[in-house]
């Protein structure tokens, strides 16, 4: 049985079909990349899996349970946690407090939550900034904090929405290494990335969206050779070059 099984997921915004009958699955411990040009529907798809948007059609199963239309809190408690493309720490709280918020999903004990938060902060390389206010962190550290807070909820599946966006090449390499370490902890990862070069080397499998539809799926090597994928990305590169 797949960890996450998605059947024909559809989302409309008025007349626009942002996701059209997208099916896919993620197995336990797998790293799956979700790529596609701007407006392809990646964030919308994520938002439905995490319970932030209600689908207009289709079903989502997690560990065999139908979680379609459930609240983000319910889905998080079941073991799916997402990060946001635009990082959203509690700016006036300390780094430690931010991560304790995640840990409180699984424990009511402040002592326990603190211990777990400290462990996660050690793992994510933020242990020396425990008492910093979140607003004082660099973008790269805010992204680490976002990851730490998500990890503190003890997910089985982590949805990462463009965690590398806005990072320098060195910070990107560090983020990739952190993702590898997260995977080693047995957590499955579903990664949205705009930049193909980042997601291809770490993903076991890649799903490609374009215009709200799934246009390809396979190993990174298979997908990179797919004519439809090349075409959609060439269009994107023209766009980037001209923009």
Residue ranges in contact with ligand ATP by CB under 6 A: 13, 16, 18, 36, 38-44, 194
In the complex with ligand ATP, the residue whose CB is nearer, 42 or 214, is 42
What CA–CA distances, in Å, run from 62 to 25, 31, 162, 231? Answer: 10, 16, 23, 33
* Rounded-to-integer distance, Cα 196 and Cα 45, Å: 18
In the complex with ligand ATP, the residue whose CB is nearer, 16 or 139, is 16
Name the minimum Å distance from CB 16 to ligand ATP.
Answer: 6
* Rounded-to-integer distance, Cα 153 and Cα 117, Å: 10
Between strands 65-66 and 16-26, the pairing is unpaired
In the complex with ligand ATP, the residue whose CB is nearer, 11 or 205, is 11
In the complex with ligand ATP, the residue whose CB is nearer, 13 or 74, is 13
Residue 116 β-bridge partners: none
168-183 burial by CB neighbour count: b if 16+ within 10 A, else e?
eeebbebbbebbeebb
Name the minimum Å distance from CB 190 to ligand ATP.
Answer: 13
Name the minimum Å distance from CB 195 to ligand ATP.
Answer: 10
Name the minimum Å distance from CB 222 to ligand ATP.
Answer: 21
């Amino acid at each position: 049985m797949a960890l996450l099984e998605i059947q024909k997921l559809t989302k409309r915004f008025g007349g626009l079909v942002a996701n059209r009958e997208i099916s896919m699955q993620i197995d336990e411990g797998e790293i799956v990349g979700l790529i596609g040009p701007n407006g392809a529907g990646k964030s919308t798809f994520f938002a439905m899996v995490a319970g932030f948007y209600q689908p207009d059609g289709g079903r989502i199963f997690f560990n065999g349970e139908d979680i379609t239309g459930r609240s983000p809190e319910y889905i998080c408690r079941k073991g799916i946690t997402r990060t946001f493309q635009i990082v959203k720490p509690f700016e006036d709280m300390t780094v430690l407090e931010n991560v304790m918020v995640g840990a409180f999903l699984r424990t009511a004990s402040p002592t326990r939550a603190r211990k777990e938060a400290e462990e996660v902060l050690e793992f994510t390389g933020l242990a020396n900034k425990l008492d910093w206010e979140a607003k004082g962190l660099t973008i790269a550290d805010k992204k680490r904090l976002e990851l730490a807070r998500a990890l503190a909820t003890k997910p089985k599946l982590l949805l990462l929405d463009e965690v590398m966006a806005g990072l320098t090449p060195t910070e990107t390499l560090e983020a990739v290494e952190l993702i590898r370490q997260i995977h080693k902890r047995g957590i499955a990862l579903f990664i949205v990335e705009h930049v193909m070069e980042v997601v291809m080397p770490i993903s076991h499998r890649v799903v490609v969206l374009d215009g709200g539809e799934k246009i390809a799926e396979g190993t990174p090597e298979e997908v990179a050779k797919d004519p439809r994928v090349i075409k959609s990305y060439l269009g994107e590169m023209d766009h980037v070059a001209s923009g």
